[in-house]
Structure 1
Amino acid sequence: MEDTRTFRDGDVSPGCSEFQEDRSNSSDPSCVSMKSDWSMDKLLRFQGRPISTDLSDRSVSEPSWVSMQSDRSMGKNQSNLREDTHHLRDSQLDQSRFKSNLLKKFEHLYEGTGTQGNPTLLNEIYTELYITESESGEINNEHEVRQIETQSRRAATEDTAIKCNDIFRPLPGQDKAIRTVLTMGVAGIGKTVSVQKLILDWAEGKKNQDVQLIFPLPFREINLIKHKTLSLSDLLHLFFPETKKMEISSDEYKVLFIFDGLDECRLSLDFKSKVKLCNISQSASVDLLLMNLIVGNLLPSALIWITSRPAAVDLVPSECVHRVTEVRGFNDPQKEEYFRKRIGDQSLADRIISHLKSSRSLYIMCHIPVFCWISAAVLEKMLSRAENGEIPKTLTQMYTHFLILQTNIKHEKDYEKTVKDEDMILKLGKLAFEQLAKGNLIFYEEDLRECGIDETEAAVYSGFCTQIFREEAGLYQGKVFCFVHLSIQEHLAALYAHVSFTKNYINVFDQTKQSIFTKVLKQMKYNSISHLHKRAVDEALRSKNGHLDLFLRFLLGLSLEFNQTLLRELLTQTGSCSYNKEETVEFIKQKIRENHTSERSINMFHCLNELGDDSLIQEIQDYLRSGQIGETKLSSSQWSALVYVLLTSEQKMDDINLKQFIGAQNTADEVLQKLLPVIKESRSVQLSYCGVTDEGCAALASALRSNPSHLRELDLIGNKLGASGVKLLSYLLKDTHCTLETLWLSDCGVTDEGCAAVASALRSNPSHVRGLSLSGNKLGVSGVKLLSDLLKDPCCKLETLRLKDCEVTDEGCAALASALRSNPSHLRDLNLSVNKLGASGVKLLSDLLKDPRCKLETLWLYNCGVTDEGCAALASALRSNPSHLRKLDPSGNKLGVLGVKLISGLLKDPRCKLEKL
Structure 2
Amino acid sequence: MYNNHFYIDSVHNHLHAALFRPVDCQSVQHGSDVCFHDFREHRHFCEERAEEDPEGNPTLLNQMFTEIYIIKGGTSEVNDEHEVRQIETASRTPDRPETTIRHEHIFKTPPGRDEPIRTVMTKGVAGIGKTVLTQKFTLDWAEDKANQDIQFAFPFTFRELNVLKERKYSLVELVDYFFSETKEAGICRFEEFPVVFIFDGLDELDVLLTNLIRGNLLPSARLWITTRPAAANQIPPGCVDMVTEVRGFTDPQKEEYFRKRFRDEEQASRINSYIKTSRSLHIMCHIPVFCWMTATVLEDVLKTREGGELPKTLTEMYIHFLVVQTKVKNIKYDGGAETDPHWSPESRKMIESLGKLAFEQLQKGNLIFYESDLTECGIDITAASVYSGVFTQIFKEERGLYQDKVFSFVHLSVQEFLAALHVHLTFTNSGVNLLSEKQTTSTCFYQCAVDKALQSPNGHLDLFLRFLLGLSLQTNQNLLRGLLTQTGSSSETYQETVDYFKKKISENLSAERSINLFHCLNELNDRSLVEEIQRVPEFRKSLHR
Q: Same fold (TM over 0.5)?
A: yes
User: Residue 857 of structure 1 aligns with which residue?
Assistant: none
Q: Which of the residues 94, 108, 112 maps onto 2:48?
A: 108
Q: Is 1:587 matched up with 2:500?
A: yes
- Hey, what's the Cα distance between the residues in 2 that align with 1:588 and 1:252? 64
Secondary structure of 1:397's match?
helix
Q: Check the 8 A contact 1:184/1:310 in 2, yes or no.
A: yes
Secondary structure of 2:223's match?
strand
- Hey, what's the Cα distance between the residues in 2 that align with 1:490 and 1:496? 10
Q: Is 1:182 matched up with 2:121?
A: yes
Q: Check the 8 A contact 1:396/1:557 in 2, yes or no.
A: yes
User: Residue 485 of structure 2 aligns with which residue?
Assistant: 573
**1:577, CA displacement in angstroms?**
5.9
Q: Which amino acid aligns with 2:374?
A: L
- Hey, what's the Cα distance between the residues in 2 that align with 1:348 and 1:157? 36
Q: CA separation of 1:241/1:428 partners in 2, compared to 1, >3 Å: closer, same or farther?
A: same
Q: Which of the residues 440, 461, 475 maps onto 2:387?
A: 461
Superposition RMSD on alpha carbons, in Å?
A: 2.8
Q: Which amino acid aligns with 1:435?
A: Q
Q: CA separation of 1:288/1:147 partners in 2, compared to 1, >3 Å: closer, same or farther?
A: same
**1:475, CA displacement in angstroms?**
7.4
**1:596, CA displacement in angstroms?**
4.1
Q: Is 1:359 matched up with 2:278?
A: yes
CA deviation digits over 1:805-848, x for unaligned, max 9? Answer: xxxxxxxxxxxxxxxxxxxxxxxxxxxxxxxxxxxxxxxxxxxx
Q: Which of the residues 290, 310, 320 maps onto 1:401?
A: 320
Q: Which amino acid aligns with 1:506?
A: V
Q: Which amino acid aligns with 1:452?
A: G
**1:375, CA displacement in angstroms?**
1.0
Q: Check the 8 A contact 2:52/2:58 in 1, yes or no.
A: no
Secondary structure of 1:217's match?
strand
Q: Is 1:538 matched up with 2:425?
A: no
Q: Check the 8 A contact 2:276/2:282 in 1, yes or no.
A: yes
User: Residue 142 of structure 1 aligns with which residue?
Assistant: 81
Q: Is 1:553 matched up with 2:466?
A: yes
CA deviation digits over 1:586-617, x for unaligned, max 9? Answer: 22232232354233332122112221234443
Q: Is 1:448 matched up with 2:384?
A: no
- Identical positions, percent: 56
User: Residue 441 of structure 2 aligns with which residue?
Assistant: 527
Name structure 2 gaps, 5 residues minimum: 1-19, 337-343
Q: Which amino acid aligns with 1:375?
A: T
User: Residue 200 of structure 2 aligns with which residue?
Assistant: 260
User: Residue 485 of structure 1 aligns with which residue?
Assistant: 411
Per the normalisation by structure 1, the TM-score is: 0.53
User: Residue 208 of structure 1 aligns with which residue?
Assistant: 147
CA deviation digits over 1:44-68, x for unaligned, max 9? Answer: 554x24xxxxxxxxxxxxxxxxxxx
Q: Which amino acid aligns with 2:360?
A: E
Q: Check the 8 A contact 1:557/1:563 in 2, yes or no.
A: yes
User: Residue 199 of structure 1 aligns with which residue?
Assistant: 138
> Which is higher, the Rg of structure 1 or of structure 2?
1
Q: CA separation of 1:307/1:145 partners in 2, compared to 1, >3 Å: closer, same or farther?
A: same
- Hey, what's the Cα distance between the residues in 1 that align with 2:188 and 2:215? 15
Secondary structure of 1:408's match?
helix
User: Residue 540 of structure 2 aligns with which residue?
Assistant: 645
- Hey, what's the Cα distance between the residues in 1 that align with 2:218 and 2:302? 54
- Hey, what's the Cα distance between the residues in 1 that align with 2:405 and 2:45? 17
CA deviation digits over 1:529-549, x for unaligned, max 9? Answer: x32222222221222221111
**1:158, CA displacement in angstroms?**
3.5
Q: Which amino acid aligns with 1:181?
A: V
Higher relative contact order (CA closer than 8 Å, sequence separation 6+): 2
Q: Check the 8 A contact 2:104/2:147 in 1, yes or no.
A: yes
**1:107, CA displacement in angstroms?**
1.9
**1:454, CA displacement in angstroms?**
2.3
Q: Check the 8 A contact 2:74/2:245 in 1, yes or no.
A: no
- Hey, what's the Cα distance between the residues in 2 that align with 1:440 and 1:111? 26
Q: Check the 8 A contact 1:216/1:258 in 2, yes or no.
A: yes
- Hey, what's the Cα distance between the residues in 1 that align with 2:96 and 2:301? 34
User: Residue 8 of structure 2 aligns with which residue?
Assistant: none
Which is further off, 456-465 or 196-205? 456-465
Q: Is 1:333 matched up with 2:252?
A: yes
**1:313, CA displacement in angstroms?**
0.7
Q: Which amino acid aligns with 2:461?
A: L
Q: CA separation of 1:44/1:614 partners in 2, compared to 1, >3 Å: closer, same or farther?
A: farther
Secondary structure of 2:207's match?
helix
Q: Check the 8 A contact 1:540/1:549 in 2, yes or no.
A: yes
Q: CA separation of 1:255/1:594 partners in 2, compared to 1, >3 Å: closer, same or farther?
A: same
User: Residue 497 of structure 1 aligns with which residue?
Assistant: 423
Q: CA separation of 1:447/1:106 partners in 2, compared to 1, >3 Å: closer, same or farther?
A: farther
Name structure 1 gaps, 5 residues minimum: 1-33, 50-86, 270-286, 512-521, 622-637, 654-917
Q: Which amino acid aligns with 1:527?
A: T
User: Residue 161 of structure 1 aligns with which residue?
Assistant: 100
Secondary structure of 1:258's match?
strand
Alignment of 1:278-293 (within 5 A): 287-293=206-212
**1:564, CA displacement in angstroms?**
1.0
Q: Is 1:222 matched up with 2:161?
A: yes
Which is further off, 235-244 or 412-421? 412-421
Alignment of 1:235-246 (within 5 A): 235-244=174-183, 245-246=185-186
Q: CA separation of 1:306/1:177 partners in 2, compared to 1, >3 Å: closer, same or farther?
A: same
Q: Which amino acid aligns with 2:498?
A: V
- Hey, what's the Cα distance between the residues in 2 that align with 1:546 and 1:162? 30
Per the normalisation by structure 2, the TM-score is: 0.87
Secondary structure of 1:249's match?
coil
**1:141, CA displacement in angstroms?**
3.2
